[in-house]
Chain A
Amino acid sequence: MIETHGLTRYFGPRVALAGIELSVSAGEFVTLLGPNGAGKTTLLRILATLTRPTSGSVRIAGLDPARAGEQVRRKIGFLSHRTLLYDDLTARQNLQFAARMYDLADSDARIDQLLEQVGLTARRNDLVRTLSRGMQQRLSLARAILHRPEVLLLDEPYTGLDPRAAQMLSGLLAQLAGEGCTILLATHDLAHGLEPGQRVLILAHGRLVYDERTDAVTPATLAAVYRVLTEERPL
């Protein structure tokens, strides 16, 4: 579902990604671990067609984003550490706007269903700026999955969530994975990283340095490997 070959991105003289070779199968839930500055956000932004790679190739569902950007974007849901929400619109208006941008036919029913799912039905008519950080993050997730994407890219989705909201997010992600959605979740937090995925990757200094199935590694081993490969203490 996701294929990259020799994916490289420079920001001026700095290398953010150095020749990433990545393959994620359809329906797979992959966790991408790495410290701040490792290149996780850059990788996800390239996959989401928001950033152009300096060199290398990307295929999403067999499509090249550089040539078939619109088709690729229809298949992608992206949850950033920023909310991508308009503060001066209500929760419902934000989803309605997104539905119009995705040409959704059954938008009203879908919006109601998602607001219920993320526990925001009672706050649907409140301006986004009046919602807590956790509520905004849940609404962002609703926005990201509104169009039923085949691939969900999540960049630090647990940031700012209280334990209850984090649990709700984990539940939603498990449900989406169960429905066959391909998920790539980037985080620097090992506690959230190992739990939901089937496969764990570690990105350090712009390179993929570790790739293992989660059932083949214990949290303690992963923490030790992470410390050695990233030269950082895990969170």
Chain B
Amino acid sequence: MSFLRKVWAIFARDIAAELHTREMVSAMLVFSVLALLTFSFALDLRGEMARAAAPGVLWVTVAFAGTLGLSRSLAREQQSGCIDGLLLAPVDRSAIFFGKALGNLAFMTVVELVLLPLFAVLFSAPLLRPGVLLVMALGTLGYGAVGTLLAAIAVNTRAREVMLPILLLPLVVPLLIAAVQATAGLVEAATLAEVGGWLRLLVVYDLVIIAVSVLTFGYVVED
């Protein structure tokens, strides 16, 4: 219970800080909407072309917007050495990982909740389906988890803003492929069983990444 209370305390602190500054979610939202508008001008959004492009454009936008938020999340802890304050607490380092990852997931979810209806309208794609929401949840979980781990590595490097996307994007390729393929199938009215292979890949990816993060986060955040 103590472990969960500390995870919750870290999560609640991140939410309180974001409610106070609104800098992370607003930056992610503005970026997402601008990317969406740019894609809508750049692509021919009439008929089948739009439906075919929607899953890829959606996930690229989510991935890039997520990177913005993730780099800010750990950079905030570096200010005034707050990350040391967390590391001094008598708790397993994995509690810090879970607290930070939960916060990042919450921020990404807020952005996606705004983004999905906009995508559905602009791309004429039925994205507001339970199956698509399940894929979004699984994809966001994996992306947020691996992003939190890599943001903790990147924040200690000199070129932290540049380093995170360079580290993150190659590692999320399997996740993005699975998420795009599953979303595309569901948009074309496939059943969950028909995209089951991609869903299983997402689940396995999430489990592996969370396990690796729990095992390595302590080494990553200590000097």
Most chain A C-beta atoms within 10 Å of own C-beta, residue among B9, B13, B85, B87: B85
The segment from B76-84, B109-117, B123-131, B139-147 found at the interface with A is B76-84
Q: Which of A51, A80, A101, A102 has the most CB of B within 10 A?
A: A101
Quick check: is A30 within 8 A (CB to CB) of the other chain?
no
Contact check, B222 vs A51: say whether CB atoms are below 8 A apart: yes
Residue contact B91 to A101, C-beta cutoff 8 Å: yes
B171 to chain A, nearest CB (A): 25
Task: Identify which of B9, B80, B84, B90 contacts A70 (C-beta below 8 A).
Answer: B90
Which one of B15-23, B58-66, B157-165, B194-202 contacts A? B15-23
Interface SS of B by simple majority: helix
Q: For the complex, what is the distance from the CA of A50 to the CA of B86, rounded to whole Å?
A: 10
Q: Is the CB of A86 within 8 A of B86?
A: no
Cα distance, A20 to B157, chains bound together (Å): 28
Interface size of A by CB at 8 A reads 29
Q: Which residues from chain A contact B9 at a C-beta distance below 8 Å? A: 97, 100-101
Q: From residue 87 to 136 of chain B, which have CB atoms closer than 8 A to chain A?
A: 87-92
Q: Is the CB of A89 within 8 A of B17?
A: yes
Check A50 against B88 for contact (C-beta < 8 Å): yes
**A52 with B222: CB separation less than 8 A:** yes
Cβ contacts under 8 Å, A70 to chain B: 90-92
Stretch at the interface among A71-79, A111-119, A156-164, A212-220: A71-79
Contact assessment for A83 and B81 in the assembled complex, using a CB-CB cutoff below 8 Å: yes
> Which chain B residue has the least Cβ–Cβ distance from A77?
B88
B85 touches A143 (CB 8 A): yes
Output the least CB separation between B27 and chain A (Å): 16
A232 close to B (CB within 8 Å): no
Give the one of A48, A93, A100 with max B CB within 10 A: A100
Min CB distance A18 to B, Å, is 17
Cα of A105 to Cα of B86 in the assembled complex, Å: 19
Question: Is residue A121 within 8 Å, beta carbon to beta carbon, of the partner chain?
Answer: no
Of the candidates B5, B6, B88, the one whose C-beta lies within 8 Å of that of A49 is: B88
Complex CA distance for A103 and B90, rounded to whole angstroms: 9
Closest to B18 in A: A88
| Contact (Cβ within 8 A) A80 B17 | no
Quick check: is B2 within 8 A (CB to CB) of the other chain?
yes
A50-B223, A97-B9 given as contacts; is B85 within 8 A of A84 (CB)? yes
Bound Cα distance from A175 to B13, whole angstroms: 32
Q: Are B82 and A88 in contact (CB under 8 A)?
A: no
Determine if A98 is an interface residue (Cβ-Cβ < 8 Å).
Answer: yes
Q: Judge if A82 is at the interface, Cβ distance under 8 Å.
A: yes
The closest CB in chain A to the CB of B20 belongs to A88
**Known contacts being A45-B223, A48-B88, is A101 close to B82, with CB within 8 Å?**
no
Q: Collect the chain B residues with CB atoms within 8 Å of residue A186's CB.
A: none
Contact (A101, B17) CB under 8 Å given A86-B80, A86-B82: no
Q: Is the CB of A100 within 8 A of B6?
A: yes
